[in-house]
Structure 1
Amino acid sequence: MPDVRTHEPDDHDNAYAGLLVNDAHWAFGTDFEDPLAGVDTTVPDGVDPATLATYCLMLGDDALVLSQRLAEWCSNAPDLEEDIALSNIALDLLGQARLLLARAAAADGSQVPTLPDSSPVPDEDRLAFFRDAPQFRNVRLAEVPGGDFAQTVVRILLFSSWRLALLDRLNQSRDAVLAAVAAKAVKELTYHRDFAGRWFLTLARGTDESRRRLVAGLDALWPFWTELFETHDVERAAARSGVGVDPADVAADVEAVLDQVLAASGVERPAQPPHAADHGRDGRTGRDGEHTEALTALLAEMQVVARAHPGGQW
Structure 2
Amino acid sequence: MKNLFSRTLFAAATLALCAGAHAEEKFTYMTNWYAQAEHGGFYQAVATGIYKKYGLDVTIKMGGPQVNIYQLMAAGQTDCVMGSSDMQAVITRAGGLPVTTVAAVFQKDPQVLISHDDVAGFEQMKDKTILIAPTAQRGYWLWLKQKYGFTDAQTRPYTFNIQPFVADKNAVQQGYLTSEPFAIQKAGVKAKAHLFADQGWTSYATTITCMDTTVKQRKAAVASFVKATMEGWKSYLADPAPANALIKKDNPNMTDEQLAYSVQKLKEMGIVSSGEAAKAGLGTMDDKRVAANFKFLLDNKLIEPGKVSTADAYDFSFARDAKVLP
Higher share in helix: 1
Q: TM-score, normalised by structure 1?
A: 0.30
Question: Which structure has the larger Rg?
Answer: 2
Q: Answer 1 or 2: higher relative contact order, Cα 8 Å, separation at least 6.
A: 2
Could you say which structure has the higher strand fraction?
2
